[in-house]
Chain A
């Protein structure tokens, strides 16, 4: 009998706490599949964030730590610098990484820390009830931008990969999307390159994954995925922004 589909080995048996239709499960699966395929599970430590994936360590069964809000890249730095043989991932949302943790993220990238950042961007603060994030689209209504995000008041959506790609010590920087099967296959390819950048000791790697938040967007899962294609991807284009020499 041929196995056509199975649970990746690092995924635990615990049911996730994510909302129906939330793409965090997809992002978790991509991470877990690659850990298994690249035989990295036993040397991996994942730094989990504050946000919807705060309990991520219940769902991916590696060694794990739980960072303070935004500090994942600093914590990962402390672990990787003292234990370079560990494979260190941070898994962060857009509030955690792009807002409160932007300084820690940028400086980890500036130093070329040999860590991999999985950056899941759903355009709002999911866990706390859908407040405005730095990545919220212009005109998008959230609980703290009830009249729609007004650039005169709060500026424009923040493009993290484009910013980080300008830094010399970054090894691999890309943006993928979790809205469709092709995009998910592409996301996995990007993430594999990011993992490789760390395995080969080249430098800092980050993959942004455009995600949806059906609950706070007040949409069905299918409609939320459509919104990604129609509204989000035009603002946050998919692509590789930095591929340093030696990254495969």
Chain B
């Protein structure tokens, strides 16, 4: 740790990834995250690491897949439409048990949409996106400092569980600047090629085959059981969240990423007026803090979920609350970011009925 640097969120992603030992970047340009590949393209050659602009997002994710099969710390970054193109690769990566990190700076959709900040890819990131029964670990930082810290965790988790880790941010986090204190550089000389990597058999007593294919249904079921076992362990060990002013709360906002930051202002506005509002902020969107929300449902009068979409995390909040308390929702669509005042006014509409 040391000095603080004032940096753009997009550049924080690249700098933190390099410090965390990311040895290769493959990607394709798309707004609003072009500063990430641009930063990598300047810095990676200086470090003797790989930067390669692919011919498409489809190619990029398959380059990531290839590098991941060699046990290399590898990343790609993109934004919503590009992430849609990568879904095929995500599914293959999931059933191959290889680690990688993917950053999605979400923009307004569907389709070409716009380039404004959005959170409408929650379903895609958390519920699959590609085909088959799989999960990726999904992390949603809400400040640039947290983004800088979580990039390290993203690579560690990817390696620990041999899984894809998605860092889900939005265009606003990519463009804003904030002073950030980076963790020390990881010593990449200590990295060893894992025993399972496909780099040529050499001195190994066995050869390695990485495949997502198993033509016999019984065999494929076994592969799926293996994945589900892994997911259970992750659900048990890796749930992360932040609670803000929840101890005495009668109401809670649930929000992630940028909107959670705005929600903190909303909580403070409510507290100034004597309303006991708190914030529950999932940091891992998968695994989701289901048990926490389940527990908090006992003390709260209602939940108020706010997102930059039409209500996606809302479904997971509702599943956790399981009908015991009302869950209200306020979202903005198409890349519009609501003000704290907007959210507070919406929240208060429900409190009136409640009192």
Contact = CB atoms under 8 A, between A and B. Distances in A.
**In the complex, are there CB atoms of A and B closer than 8 Å?**
yes
Interface of A: 41-45, 47-48, 54-55, 57, 61-68, 71, 74-83, 85-87, 103-104, 106-107, 110-111
Given A78-B67, A78-B74, A103-B56, A63 B62 contact: no
Contacts of A45: 198-200
A77 B58 CA distance: 13
A82 B72 contact: yes
B208 A82 contact: no
Contact of A47 (B58, B64, B66, B68): B66
Nearest to B213: A66
Contacts of A71: 58-59, 62, 65, 89
A83 B193 CA distance: 10
B50 A83 contact: no
B294 interface: no
A65 B199 CA distance: 10
Residue with the greatest number of chain B CB neighbours at <10 A, chosen from A48, A61, A63, A85: A63
Residue with the greatest number of chain A CB neighbours at <10 A, chosen from B200, B209, B210: B200
A103 to B, nearest CB: 6
Contact of A74 (B58, B96, B201): B58
Q: Which 10 A-B pairs have the closest CB atoms?
A: A78-B66, A107-B55, A66-B211, A74-B62, A78-B63, A75-B66, A43-B200, A78-B67, A71-B62, A74-B59
Contact of A42 (B50, B62, B200): B200
Where chain A touches its partner, the secondary structure class is helix
Interface in B184-233: 198-202, 207-213, 215
Interface string B46-76: 0000101011101110111111111010100
Given A74-B54, A79-B67, A103-B58, A63 B211 contact: no
Given A74-B62, A78-B64, A107-B59, A83 B199 contact: yes
Contacts of B200: 42-45, 62-63, 85-87
16 contacts: A55-B213, A62-B201, A65-B198, A67-B65, A68-B62, A68-B65, A71-B59, A75-B69, A77-B59, A77-B66, A81-B67, A82-B50, A83-B70, A86-B199, A103-B55, A107-B54
B23 A66 contact: no
A110 B56 CA distance: 14
Given A71-B58, A80-B66, 7 more contacts: A42-B202, A63-B207, A65-B66, A71-B65, A78-B67, A82-B23, A107-B59
Contacts of B96: 65
Contacts of B198: 45, 63-65, 79
B88 interface: yes
Contacts of A74: 54, 58-60, 62-63, 65-66
Interface string B69-101: 110101000000000000011001000100000
Contacts of A76: 66
A126 to B, nearest CB: 16
Contact of A81 (B63, B209, B210): B63
Given A82-B72, A104-B59, A65 B211 contact: yes
A57 to B, nearest CB: 5
A79 B52 contact: no
A135 to B, nearest CB: 22
A86 B199 CA distance: 6
Contacts of A79: 66-67, 69-70, 198-199
Nearest to B203: A42
Given A79-B198, A82-B74, A103-B55, A63 B208 contact: yes
B26 interface: yes
Contacts of B208: 63-64
A74 B43 CA distance: 23
Contact of A67 (B62, B68, B74): B62
Contact of B209 (A54, A65, A78, A87): A65
Given A63-B207, A74-B66, A54 B201 contact: no
Nearest to B98: A65
A206 to B, nearest CB: 17
A42 B63 contact: no
A54 B215 CA distance: 11
B58 to A, nearest CB: 7
A77 B215 CA distance: 27
A8 to B, nearest CB: 15
Nearest to B64: A78
Contacts of B23: 82
Contact of A75 (B63, B201, B202): B63
A86 to B, nearest CB: 5
